Amino acid sequence: MSFPSAEQTGNMVEMEMQWAVKAMHHAETYMKLLKTVGGKNFKLTPIDDELYEDFMENFADLNIATLDENDFKTEVAKAKWREFMTKYEHRVNDYNFGTLLRIDASGDYSEENSMFAMRTQFYCIEIARTRANLNDAMKE
């Protein structure tokens, strides 16, 4: 087993900080759009309809209003999501980039109401929430 050198450790911390900044910027931008424009008035990807249909077919039992992290974090769930997302590797920008996802659709991003997810998971959940009118309350 090898351990990272001091130089590599410094780079990992910098990379984590860059990820955190990018993830927070993405979350803030998305929330501003929801609050000002409303989810029904913009598309997250050029293939929203396809993502939605595929997501609903493969994850029909997932509670999108209030997420359970076990639906994302168990080994079985990770394998199912990995297989699902791989189909979109060349079709969704940053398809497996880490991002923040609201746990409870009725709330804003916060430490208690956010979880780590992949970008494709974020798109699927948020497209489904919008189509189920769960993001309507966010518009000011």
**What are the tens digits of pLDDT across the range 89-118?**
999 988 998 899 999 999 999 999 999 999
CA distance to 105, 126, 131, per residue, from 64 (Å): 8, 8, 11
What does the pLDDT read at residue 8?
Answer: 54
* Whether CATH 3.40.630.40 fits 6-138: no
Is the separation of the CB atoms in 100 and 119 below 8 Å? no
What pLDDT score was predicted for residue 4?
Answer: 53
Angle between helices 48-58 and 75-86 (to 10 degrees): 150
- pTM recorded for the entire structure: 0.85
Q: Percent of the chain having pLDDT more than 70?
A: 88
Q: What is the mean pLDDT of residues 50-59?
A: 98
**pLDDT-based confidence at 88, cuts 50/70/90?**
very high
Structure tokens at 32: 């501003």
> Does the structure show a pLDDT above 80 at 57?
yes
Domain boundaries, the chain: 6-138
pLDDT band at 83 (very low <50, low <70, confident <90, very high): very high
